[in-house]
Amino acid sequence: MSLEDTGEGWRLWVHAPAVAERLSPGGSFDLWLREEAEALCIGPRWLPLLSPALTKAAALGSGESQSALSVALDLDRQGSLQHYTFSRSSVRVDARVDAGTLQALAERKPKARTVPAALKALKDQLPLLEQLIELAGLLRQQRWQAGSIDLDLPTPAIESLGDLTTAPPDESREGWLVSLDETHPFALLRELLIPAHRALGRHLASLDLPGLYATNEAPDPADLNEVAKAALALELPLELSADGNATASELATAFASSDRARVLQQQLKDSLRPVLLSETPGPNHVVGEDTAYAPWTLPALHYADIWNQQVLVLLLTEGKDRPSVRHKTKVELASDSCHGQVDWPLLPPSTLAPIQEARSSALLHRLNTRSRFVQELHADALALAQARQAEPLVGQTLPGVISGVQSYGFFVEVPPSQVEGLVHVSSLKDDWYEYRSRQNRLVGRKNRRTYMLGDAVDVVIQKVDVLRHQIDLVVVQPDGDDGSESGSAGASGFDGPEPLTMAPSED
């Protein structure tokens, strides 16, 4: 990244490793990369997408000139993208920024005359870094105003998960973005990459070039209304749209200030749709883009970025900037200034046809399937790690929060690993409980005790099945209550008939 103040706004430069220039499109290695599709993080280890030799050749190392694919993004003072120009370039990295650097900068007094030790190596770059942080804040606000959603649902800091505990440096494939502290390097990187992907998406779409677009549909209003009903049942004030329906961004804003924020955000998360790759440009609500979005800056993580780099390189190297040699006036194919001016084939048929043929439904299916596989792999790794964290705690009483309510019982999330276990209704020996679906709660028929979404409860971890990721819990009743501690499912010690789950009541 680098930044220039243009007087009317900023020119943000984003430089990405030039991987596509080192590959032969359609060659054996390129075909292998299409099959692999994604780099895989397995806890403390990575299964990289690129070969070690290619990674080393393309890396942007400090103090060394290296080939890159770059874009100059012209932004106004509010952070809105105005114009852009792509290029093949040679860059030299002057300095690298890590979490310690950003933390030291955040803690530095505004008018301090001395430079903290952690910042001395970056003394010459501090003004640039401060401007980048300011710009990232504006871009974040722009993204939120466009309907993008951040949820405070980070992966628990379990050591065995390694890099899985860190949110990815690019946009999420899950329909939402995890909230990041502003001193996290990826919080800065993510905001500055989004307009670069937005620019290429719009450029490829305008020139009708065969890119791969990251699209994300808006959630189903019916699903959002169910989440809103759950919030209203908890007496959370909501301001709905003029049509009476809730929007995802409105719900996210309301939930952020609630004392039940985490469980409500989890309900909202489940209603959001995943990001899918498409051959057709379309909106991407995750980042607040309504036209087209084409990722290209992280070719070491995703094959889609490699593909889009290949299309961009072909445009920059083989694109026809005028109808024929007889025309003296050229258009700038690397810039948005050419939009609406091109009415001739940009690439030779011999170059364009193989790419159009390769961008098939089979390729898109493969890439989307691999993306889902990566998400499932990460979810399984997290569940396994959480279950292992819970295993030594069997028999202990721990505080938790009800994260879901069903007719057969309720789920409780237990910190610090946020492992989720089930309190089965048959273990609630103090009463008969009926399930009220509209209110997301279980209510005792005699004592009127309720268990509802977001309630704090004390539980005992009774059993852990690590391989199945199943945690059995029993709830601890308050002192002085009739059933001071409920027994396990099927346990004796309760005079009277077995607990009964009533049919859902709609009151």
pLDDT score at 398: 95
- From the list 229, 213, 209, the residue with the least C-alpha distance to 221 is 229
Tens-digit pLDDT profile for residues 97-133: 999 999 999 988 877 778 888 898 888 999 999 999 9
Whole-angstrom distance, CA of residue 12 vs CA of residue 73: 5
Same domain, 204 and 146: yes
Residue 230 lies in a domain: no
Does one domain contain both 39 and 187? Answer: yes
**Composition of the chain by helix, strand, coil, percent to 5:** 35, 20, 40
- Residue 347 falls within a domain, yes or no? yes
Distance CA 481, CA 428 (A): 13
Residue 176 C-alpha from the chain's centroid: 5
Q: Which of 329, 351, 383 is the last residue of a domain?
A: 383
Same domain, 117 and 174: yes
How high is the mean pLDDT of the chain? 89
Do 322 and 178 share a domain, yes or no? yes
In the chain, the percentage of residues whose pLDDT exceeds 70 is 93
Higher pLDDT, 223 or 480: 223
Domain assignment present for 358: yes
Burial of 243 (0-12, 13-18, 19+ CB in 10 A): exposed
Residue 126 placed within a domain = yes
Q: Is residue 229 part of a domain?
A: no
Examine the domain organization and report whether 153 and 204 are in the same domain.
yes
Burial, 242: exposed, middle or buried (Cβ in 10 Å; 0-12, 13-18, 19+)? exposed
pLDDT at 247: 87
Mean pLDDT of 454-468: 94
Spatial separation of the C-alpha atoms in residues 391 and 187, rounded to whole Å: 34
Contact call for residues 321 and 333 (beta carbons, < 8 A):
yes
CB 401 within 8 A of CB 423: no
Given a cut of 60, is residue 373 above it in pLDDT? yes
Domain boundary among 358, 383, 408: 383
Helix (H) or strand (E) holding 43: none
When mean pLDDT is compared across 119-123, 256-260, 482-486, the lowest value belongs to 482-486
Of 84 and 175, more confident: 84
Q: Return the pLDDT at 57.
A: 93
Burial 176-207 (b: 16+ CB within 10 A, else e): bbbbbeebbbbbbbbbbbbbbbbbbbbbbbbb
Residue 253: inside a domain: no
Is residue 506 very low, low, confident or very high in pLDDT (cuts 50, 70, 90)? very low
Question: Does residue 447 register a pLDDT over 60?
Answer: yes
pLDDT for the residue numbered 497: 33
Residues 363 and 481 in one domain: no
Cα torsion 478, 482, 487, 490: sign: negative
pLDDT in tens, 282-316: 999 999 999 999 999 999 999 999 999 999 999 99
> Could you give phi then psi for residue 37, rounded to 5 degrees?
70, -40
**In a 10 Å sphere around its CB, with 0-12 CB exposed, 13-18 middle and 19+ buried, how is residue 58 labelled?**
buried
Q: Cβ(390)–Cβ(412) under 8 Å?
A: no
Total domain count, the chain: 2
Q: Which of 348, 383, 418 is the C-terminal boundary of a domain?
A: 383
**What pLDDT score was predicted for residue 242?**
64
374 and 406 assigned to the same domain: no
Mean pLDDT of 438-463: 92
Beta strands in 18-103 (DSSP E): 40-42, 45-47, 65-76, 81-92
DSSP lists the bridge partners of residue 337 as none
Predicted confidence band of residue 244 (pLDDT cuts 50, 70, 90): low
pLDDT score, position 131: 94
Mind listing the pLDDT tens digit for each residue in 186-213? 999 999 999 999 999 999 999 999 999 9
Q: Tell me the two tokens of residue 431.
A: 């009463």
Amino acid 135 reads L
What confidence tier does 481 reach under pLDDT thresholds 50, 70, 90? Answer: low
356 and 442 co-located in one domain: no
Establish if 371 belongs to a structural domain. Answer: yes
Band (243; pLDDT cuts 50, 70, 90): low
Task: Say whether pLDDT at 503 is over 60.
Answer: no
Tell me, yes or no, whether 29 lies in a domain. yes
Q: What is the pLDDT of residue 484?
A: 35
Residues 416 and 489 in one domain: yes
Enclosing domain of residue 102: 2-218+273-383
Q: Are residues 294 and 342 in the same domain?
A: yes
For position 117, what pLDDT does the model report? 84
Lowest mean pLDDT among 79-88, 273-282, 404-413, 489-498: 489-498
**Closest to 421 measured CA to CA, from 377, 466, 452:** 466
Q: DSSP assignment, residue 273?
A: P
Q: What is the CATH number of the domain that holds 447?
A: 2.40.50.140
Q: Is the CB of residue 432 less than 8 Å from the CB of residue 444?
A: yes
Same domain, 184 and 64: yes
pTM comes to 0.90
- For residues 127 and 182, state if they share a domain: yes
> What are the tens digits of pLDDT across the range 397-434?
999 999 999 999 999 999 889 999 999 999 998 899 99
